[in-house]
Structure formats: C-alpha cells, structure tokens
C-alpha cells in the first residue's frame, strides 16, 4: 500500500457523509457473524462475472475474451491478508470512485435507521440494503481494490481505504481483466486468513454461486455450483432433497413436504420449496426469518423475500430462481416488479395443488401437515377472499361419525345420502363433548353425519363458507334445523287435555328459570336427551357470537331457548310430580345446567355440585320411604 509520490486529484477523497456513518457502524459493530462479509465479496465477484458473461454474448471486443470466468481466493496467515480475485467486468478509476465511495442515497438512510433500531439483525440488514462491499470493514484494517475494466481503452486503477474517513485511487499495473480485493485483516479477525475456515464459510454461504470458486492451491473448485433446484427432479434422490434442506436450514427434522417446480410459462422459474416439520424455528436454524430465498439467474437477490407467497403461506421455506427477473432489479423495487407478481401466483397455485394431491395420495401424511398448519390455511381462508375456492379442498374437520378423524367436505358429501341437500355442523370447544351433544341426536338417529367444529378459528372460516358443492352449511344448534320425518298424524292425536298438561309443565319450568332463558318449549328433535339449549330467534349467528367473544367484544347476548323432550322419562315424571315438591325445583335447575354444561357454557360448577348433593340426599331419603 505505497503512497503515490505526487499528490493528485485522487488522493484522500472523503467518503460521503452517509457512507462514513455506515462505515462507522460496521467498523465498530460487535456483530458476531462477521463471516458474512466473504459472502458479500463473493457475490460482488459473481455479479461482475454475470455482467461480463452478458456482455460477451454480443461483444467480443473486450480485454481477455477467452479467460476462464471464475473466482480465486487466497490467504496469507502471516501477513493476515485475504485476497478475492475475479475475472468479471472490472472497473476503471471513475467507477471505483463512484461504486465504492458512495452508496445509494435511499439505501444509506434506510440502513442507518435499520441498524439503529434492529442492531441484532445487522447481517440481514447488510444483505438487504446493498451495503455488501462495506461489510468487509467489519474485519478489515484496510482494503485495497485493484481493477481492470473490460473495455480495452481503459487503464487499471487501485483503490485504497484505511478507515471510515477517506479513500485514495492511483494508477495500477494490473493487465488482466477483472477485480482483486485485498482485505488487510484486523488483529482480531486473523481467522479469516485460515484456508479451512474460508472453505467452510464458502460452503455455507456461497455453495451455489454459479462460477467456480478456487481456494488456495486446490485445483477443484470448493463450491457445488450447480444448484440442486435447477436439476431434473427425476435425477434427485429423497436423500439429496433432505440433505439440501438440512444444509440450507440446519433444521434436523425431516421436512413434512417438498415441492420441486420447473416452470416455463407464464414465467420461467425453478423453485424448491419445503414445509418444515414445525413452523417454529429452532435457535440454531440458519433461516432467521420468514420468506423465500430469491435468485435471479442464480445470483442471490434476496435472502428472505416475502413477496413470493401470500402471508398465510409464510411457513414455507425454500429457493426460487428465475431467468425472467432482471439482474439489476433494485432491492427496493422487488415488490412492484411484474415478474415477481407472476412468480407469486404460480408458486402459490402449485403449492396448494401439491397439498391437494398429498391429501388424496397420502392422506396420513396430509393429516400430519393439517395438524400443524391448519391454522395458517384457515387464516388464509378467512382473510384472503381470492384464495377461498382453492383452500376449501384442504380443509379437514372431525365429524360426529368419526370424532377422532379428519374429514374433507368432499368426502362428507360423497358419503352422505343422495337426498341430503345440506352440510351439517356443530360449533363447540371440545370434540368429545360435542360428539354426545343433544343437538346431533336427531341427526345420529337418521344416520346423518355432522361436522364438529371445535377449533376457535372455525368460526372465522364458517363466516366465509356458507355453501359447498351447492349445499348450504347448516348449524345443527340453530332452531331452523330440519325435523326428522315425523308422522303428522301423531301431532293431531294430542288432545286438549294433554296440551293443557304440557303448558302447565312448561310454565313451571319457565317460572323456575326466569329470564335466564327467553323461552321454554317442547321439541321432537331430541331422542335420548331430556333437554337442549338453542338460540332464540333473531340471535346473532353462533359463529359471530364466538368471533365477538374471541376478540373480546362484549355483546348483548339474548338468553337461549330451553327445548325439552316430553317423551323423556325425566320430563314425564316431572309432569306428574306435585308442584309443591321441593326437589322439583332442583331437578329443573339441574336440567338447565346439564344443558349448559354440554354447551361448554357452565360458569358455576361448584354451585352445581351442591345441588347434586341435595338431589342425592333426596334420592336416598326417598329410597328409605
């Protein structure tokens, strides 16, 4: 790093204020993952190689048109230097001054702000904001960049910076095309002059750089180069897929699902997507955030792109690589890019299709997926109107016939009798309680299956799902539920005397329960149970009631209607019991609270115990009579 003998216009040029601020942050950062600087320098070399490769397609009038496109890395532990050389497009003095001395205005401001507010995640910030080259200052005392532009009439130059204040540029002797970056390492960064250390960093961060990376004397490139996602799926074993996933994520659990796509229209794309065994990342995971790794022509554009999938599919991890994305797609403009929108559409559709197929071809595996990720799919269904049709086939719920199983709407409809023109469901909190709910007795008796919706999110789903395959979805707890085929003759047989007796009984129950119920009436829809609670006419839909409760909205709940089964022995006896008998009141109270309990709405279980004990003593007393 000799000084030029004569002062010239290129000496001690101050860095722009914002660059200085960034360098200051990086030089003094205590960031522990400093190794990412190498990834950044390699990625710059790779960018430069891609650009010359592009140029060479149409222009052979360049310096060294035949030279191998590659990256050479050497280190000197004694001198504590690390050298990264490429045969890329190169820079002249002017370009060095511009590219290495300043930083895009918006990017700089955003980086400084982000670095101040999220100091912990500075590595992602480094990647995202294009401060790549400067990250070398985390490990460097000084940096030299020697470069020869591809344009034959240019001269080569050498750029040097010792710190955050100034840089200098002077002529250089370099004759071969490309750029050499020499990092003079800080005292505490000597590890980066160890070949073994460098090899593992390259394998970890730059394995799929599409140009050979030569390290030290070794003749074989250290990087894999050919990206697995660009290969033919038929040539890749399950083990290869899992190995790649582990290398990529450090998640030691096998992924639940992988989807490998190679698409040509409407947009060219390779994608290798994984559904992790669990949506929670371990602290050892290499993937620190949600989003897909996005490459444009094998060059990494974004480590965590959140623009390629709808938010509800955020648990998906993997790589997307498109030939149709412009390489210079500025990082801030990714979201508004038209190709990105197309990629998102294709990836989302293909992913949902794969899940659908899995549900058909490997139902057990699909249920494993559903148990872990149903809340994401339901979230998508409830929040993304465009996705509803596509997501409906992914839904699974237990039913009254298989309370431990998971039934799709399609299978439900296929299995139901041809005359059944509705899809029935019950909302609740506990599948086991629901399976023995009085609400489904009449359906059971007729052999009709009922979906048991016990997940809090099901209410949100039901608010958007009112029909399937032309069949209306009906809540069996609502008054409008259909009557079983009853004999109309039967009704008429009831004589006036009977009706009076019934009215007396209902009135007695009404007077005991008071305004805890809006009414008491008889029903023929119960088979084994003595009573059930149903919504009063004009009450809020049950799913809305649940949604309101869940978002902590207080709502004026209309008291429910108690429906009683007059055929039930308990009611028959109650009808006969003398009005003055003290246990009558207790029995009515208990009847009501049993129904509350089955709804999952009992609020005073201790009070119920007391009453049961009173009833027990009364029963024992009776038996002594």
Name the residues that contact Mg ion, by CB under 5 A: 44, 132
Of 331 and 558, the one with the shorter C-beta distance to Mg ion is: 331
Minimum CB separation of residue 126 from Mg ion in Å reads 10
* 91 touching ligand ADP, by CB under 6 A: yes
Where are the alpha helices (H) located in 514-562, listed in sequence order?
Answer: 542-550
Of 130 and 359, the one with the shorter C-beta distance to ligand ADP is: 130
* 255 touching ligand ADP, by CB under 6 A: no
Q: CA 625, CA 610: separation in Å to the nearest integer?
A: 23
Minimum CB separation of residue 107 from Mg ion in Å reads 11
C-alpha torsion angle, residues 217, 220, 225, 228 (rounded to 10): -140
Minimum CB separation of residue 17 from Mg ion in Å reads 21
Of 146 and 517, the one with the shorter C-beta distance to Mg ion is: 146
Tokens 């801030």 sit on residue: 332
Of 115 and 394, the one with the shorter C-beta distance to ligand ADP is: 115
Strands 299-305 and 292-296: antiparallel
Question: Contact region for ligand ADP (CB under 6 A) — 19-27, 88-96, 447-455, 456-464?
Answer: 88-96
Minimum CB separation of residue 219 from ligand ADP in Å reads 23
Given Mg ion, ligand ADP, none, residue 71, with its beta carbon under 5 to 8 Å by kind, binds none
Of 133 and 248, the one with the shorter C-beta distance to ligand ADP is: 133
Minimum CB separation of residue 95 from ligand ADP in Å reads 7
Q: How many CB atoms lie within 10 A of CB 221?
A: 16
C-alpha dist (Å) from residue 101 to 104, 133, 157: 10, 10, 14
Q: Write a three-state SS string for 214-244.
A: EECCCCCCCCCCCCHHHCCHHHCCHHHHHHH
Of 19 and 459, the one with the shorter C-beta distance to ligand ADP is: 19
Q: CA 466, CA 2: separation in Å to the nearest integer?
A: 78
Minimum CB separation of residue 214 from ligand ADP in Å reads 15
Q: CA 279, CA 391: separation in Å to the nearest integer?
A: 19
Minimum CB separation of residue 147 from Mg ion in Å reads 15
Strands 422-427 and 292-296: unpaired
Given Mg ion, ligand ADP, none, residue 86, with its beta carbon under 5 to 8 Å by kind, binds ligand ADP
Q: CA 327, CA 494: separation in Å to the nearest integer?
A: 84
Does residue 530 contact residue 567 with C-beta atoms inside 8 Å? no
* 133 touching ligand ADP, by CB under 6 A: yes
Site string for ligand ADP, 43-82 (x = CB under 6 A): -xx-xx----------------------------------
Q: CA 625, CA 617: separation in Å to the nearest integer?
A: 13
Site string for ligand ADP, 93-132 (x = CB under 6 A): ------xx-----------------------------xxx
Of 91 and 465, the one with the shorter C-beta distance to Mg ion is: 91
Per CB under 6 A, the list member of 36, 63, 89, 427 interacting with ligand ADP is: 89
The CA-based angle 518-464-517, given to 5 degrees, is 5
Nearest residue by C-beta to Mg ion? 132
Does residue 594 contact residue 531 with C-beta atoms inside 8 Å? yes
Strands 71-76 and 213-215: parallel
Given ligand ADP, Mg ion, none, residue 256, with its beta carbon under 5 to 8 Å by kind, binds none
Of 138 and 531, the one with the shorter C-beta distance to ligand ADP is: 138
Q: Exposure of 543 by Cβ count < 10 A (0-12 exposed, 13-18 middle, 19+ buried)?
A: buried
Q: Exposure of 453 by Cβ count < 10 A (0-12 exposed, 13-18 middle, 19+ buried)?
A: buried
* 179 touching ligand ADP, by CB under 6 A: yes
Q: Exposure of 501 by Cβ count < 10 A (0-12 exposed, 13-18 middle, 19+ buried)?
A: middle
Minimum CB separation of residue 44 from Mg ion in Å reads 4
Given ligand ADP, Mg ion, none, residue 599, with its beta carbon under 5 to 8 Å by kind, binds none
Distance between the two ends of the chain, CA-based, in angstroms?
113
Given Mg ion, ligand ADP, none, residue 224, with its beta carbon under 5 to 8 Å by kind, binds none
Which residues are CB-neighbours of 210 under 8 A, at least 6 positions away? 46, 50, 225, 227, 297, 298, 299
CA neighbor of 532 nearest in space, from 587, 594, 483 = 594
The CA-based angle 422-425-429, given to 5 degrees, is 175
* 599 touching ligand ADP, by CB under 6 A: no
Q: Exposure of 230 by Cβ count < 10 A (0-12 exposed, 13-18 middle, 19+ buried)?
A: middle
Nearest residue by C-beta to ligand ADP? 132
Of 91 and 407, the one with the shorter C-beta distance to ligand ADP is: 91
The SS3 of residue 543 is: helix
Question: Contact region for ligand ADP (CB under 6 A) — 13-21, 84-92, 225-233, 356-364?
Answer: 84-92
* 40 touching ligand ADP, by CB under 6 A: yes
Which DSSP string do the residues of 2-14 spell out, in sequence order?
PPPSS--TTSSEE
Question: Contact region for ligand ADP (CB under 6 A) — 40-48, 319-327, 351-359, 479-487?
Answer: 40-48
Given ligand ADP, Mg ion, none, residue 127, with its beta carbon under 5 to 8 Å by kind, binds none
Question: Contact region for ligand ADP (CB under 6 A) — 38-46, 162-170, 318-326, 597-605?
Answer: 38-46
Of 137 and 412, the one with the shorter C-beta distance to ligand ADP is: 137
The site that binds ligand ADP (CB under 6 A) totals a number of residues, namely 17
Minimum CB separation of residue 307 from ligand ADP in Å reads 18
The SS3 of residue 365 is: helix
Minimum CB separation of residue 45 from ligand ADP in Å reads 5
Which residues are CB-neighbours of 117 under 8 A, at least 6 positions away? none
Given Mg ion, ligand ADP, none, residue 179, with its beta carbon under 5 to 8 Å by kind, binds ligand ADP
Residues that bind ligand ADP (CB under 6 A): 40, 44-45, 47-48, 86, 88-89, 91, 99-100, 130-134, 179
């Amino acid at each position: 790093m000799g000084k030029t003998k004569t002062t010239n216009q290129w000496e001690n040029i101050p860095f722009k204020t914002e660059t200085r601020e960034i360098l200051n942050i990086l030089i003094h950062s205590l960031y522990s993952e400093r190794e990412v600087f190498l990834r950044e320098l390699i990625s710059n070399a790779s960018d430069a190689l891609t650009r010359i490769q592009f140029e060479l397609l149409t222009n052979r009038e360049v310096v060294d048109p035949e030279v191998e496109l590659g990256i050479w890395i050497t280190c000197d532990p004694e001198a504590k230097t690390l050298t990264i050389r490429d045969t890329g497009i190169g820079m002249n003095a002017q370009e060095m001054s511009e590219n290495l001395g300043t930083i895009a205005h918006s990017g700089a401001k955003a980086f400084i702000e982000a670095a101040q507010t999220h100091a912990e995640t500075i590595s992602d910030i480094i990647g995202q904001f294009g401060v790549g080259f400067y990250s070398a200052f985390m490990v460097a005392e000084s940096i030299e960049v020697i470069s020869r532009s591809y344009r034959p009439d240019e001269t080569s130059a050498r750029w040097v910076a010792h710190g955050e204040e100034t840089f200098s540029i002077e002529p250089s002797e370099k004759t071969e095309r490309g750029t050499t970056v020499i990092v003079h390492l800080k005292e505490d960064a000597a590890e980066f002059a160890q070949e073994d250390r460098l090899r593992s960093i390259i394998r970890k961060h730059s394995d799929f750089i599409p140009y050979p990376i030569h390290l030290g004397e070794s003749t074989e490139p250290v990087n894999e180069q050919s990206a697995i996602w660009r290969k033919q799926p038929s040539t890749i074993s399950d083990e290869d897929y899992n190995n790649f996933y582990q290398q990529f994520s450090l998640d030691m659990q096998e992924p639940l699902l992988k989807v490998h796509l190679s698409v040509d229209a409407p947009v060219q794309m390779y994608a290798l997507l994984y559904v992790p065994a669990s949506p929670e990342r371990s602290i050892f995971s290499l993937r620190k955030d949600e989003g897909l790794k996005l490459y444009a022509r094998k060059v990494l554009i974004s480590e965590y792109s959140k623009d390629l999938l709808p938010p509800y599919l955020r648990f998906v991890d993997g790589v997307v690589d498109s030939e149709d994305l412009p390489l210079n797609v500025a990082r801030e403009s990714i979201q508004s890019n038209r190709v990105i929108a197309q990629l998102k559409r294709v990836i989302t559709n293909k992913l949902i299709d794969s899940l659908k197929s899995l549900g058909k071809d490997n139902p057990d595996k699909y249920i494993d997926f559903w148990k872990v990720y149903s809340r994401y799919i339901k979230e998508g269904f409830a929040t993304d109107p465009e996705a509803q049709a596509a997501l409906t086939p992914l839904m699974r719920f237990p039913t009254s016939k298989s309370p431990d199983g998971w039934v799709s709407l399609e299978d439900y409809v296929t299995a139901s009798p041809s005359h059944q023109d509705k899809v029935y469901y019950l909302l609740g909190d506990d599948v086991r309680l629901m399976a023995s709910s009085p609400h489904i007795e009449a359906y059971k008796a007729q052999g009709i299956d009922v979906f048991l919706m016990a997940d809090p999110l099901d209410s949100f789903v039901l608010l958007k799902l009112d029909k399937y395959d032309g069949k209306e979805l009906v809540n069996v707890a609502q008054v409008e539920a259909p009557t079983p085929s009853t004999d109309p003759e039967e009704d008429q047989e009831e004589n006036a005397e009977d009706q009076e007796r019934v009215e007396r009984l209902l009135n007695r129950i009404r007077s005991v329960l008071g305004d805890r119920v809006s009414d008491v009436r008889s029903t023929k829809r119960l088979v084994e149970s003595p009573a059930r609670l149903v919504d009063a006419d004009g009450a809020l839909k049950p799913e809305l009631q649940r949604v309101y409760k869940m978002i902590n909205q207080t709502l004026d709940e209309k008291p429910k209607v108690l429906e009683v089964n007059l055929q039930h022995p308990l009611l028959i006896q109650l009808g006969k019991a003398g009005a003055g008998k003290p246990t009558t009141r207790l029995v009515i109270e208990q009847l009501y609270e049993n129904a509350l309990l089955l709804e999952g709405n009992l609020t005073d279980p201790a009070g119920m115990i007391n009453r049961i004990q009173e009833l027990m003593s009364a029963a024992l007393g009776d038996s002594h009579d």
